[in-house]
Amino acid sequence: MSGEKISVGFLGLGIMGEACARNLLKSGLFSAVHVWNRSPDKASALVSEGALLGSSPADVVSKCSITFAMLGDPDAALQVVFGENGVLQAISAGKGYIDMSTVDEQTSQRIHAAITSKGGRFLEAPVSGSKKPAIDGQLIILAAGDESLYKEAEPAFTKMGKKWMHLGETGAGARMKLVVNMAMGTMLNALSEAMALSDKAGLKQQDVLDVMGIGALASPLVAMKGPAMMSKNYAPAFPLKHQQKDMRLALALGDQLGQSLPVAAAANEQFKVARARGHGDEDIAAVYEATKP
């Protein structure tokens, strides 16, 4: 991505994808930014800002040197590649496809094999971060796969992330993201139980957060999600249903590798309870609702 400007594409315009695509559009680094979303109306804001709307994933890929994707789950990631008018219909020698979705390693490997079989280059690049870091271009990008594509994509990564790293062969990025999100999910459950217990014990929840904030437990997670739990403000920065999906995938990885994950398994059950109670589309802080009878 040096010298003459190239066209890039972005598939999937959810909370995170729209923010990332907008940062690419605003950067001025590219001759055009082509976008696609399963629900076209979600692309209207970006189109009004200068993005070009593609009619399908294949349409976007056909017009771009590098196409990024950020889909909600493995099924969506596979459908965009293998479905009718999908990525695979237009990928060709030299074209790059960078999947920033959080998926399991098997899904990533399957997409990698399909893309490279057509002469394309593949990079998995899941991200650590939520809505505000995505808007601010402060995500952590966990890439693995084709190193030449990684190097070409670095200018784009500078507009989407504060840190990006190449972790090795395809699959390493997927594993890293699941490990990180599994840890976040278990910590979030511990915080929600502490908030619930403090309330039952007659303590002010703000006092609990203040104590945590000046001690060894101080962290951005406590600072962001503690007040959200206290106020029951669950405007989605990272939807709970996606966190529960990541917990499920992490547990599956543990099963595959024979690694016991009892704390993560218990945390996953709480996310499932909150999701069953109708909080799936709300922020991950809504796991607090699972602590109630």
Could you list the pLDDT tens digit for every one of the 293 residues in the chain? 456 899 999 999 999 999 999 999 999 999 999 999 999 999 999 999 999 999 999 999 999 999 999 999 999 999 999 999 999 999 999 999 999 999 999 999 999 999 999 999 999 999 999 999 999 999 999 999 999 999 999 999 999 999 999 999 999 999 999 999 999 999 999 999 999 999 999 999 999 999 999 999 999 999 999 999 999 999 999 999 999 999 999 999 999 999 999 999 999 999 999 999 999 999 999 999 999 98
Q: Are 7-169 and 175-291 equal in CATH topology?
A: no
Domain residues of the chain, as ranges? 7-169, 175-291
Whether the CB-CB separation of 31 and 183 falls below 8 Å is answered with no
Positions marked catalytic:
177
> Which CATH number applies to 175-291?
1.10.1040.10
CA distance 266 to 11: 34
Which class is 7-169 in CATH?
A: alpha beta
**pTM of the predicted structure, to 2 decimals:** 0.90
pLDDT of res. 3: 63
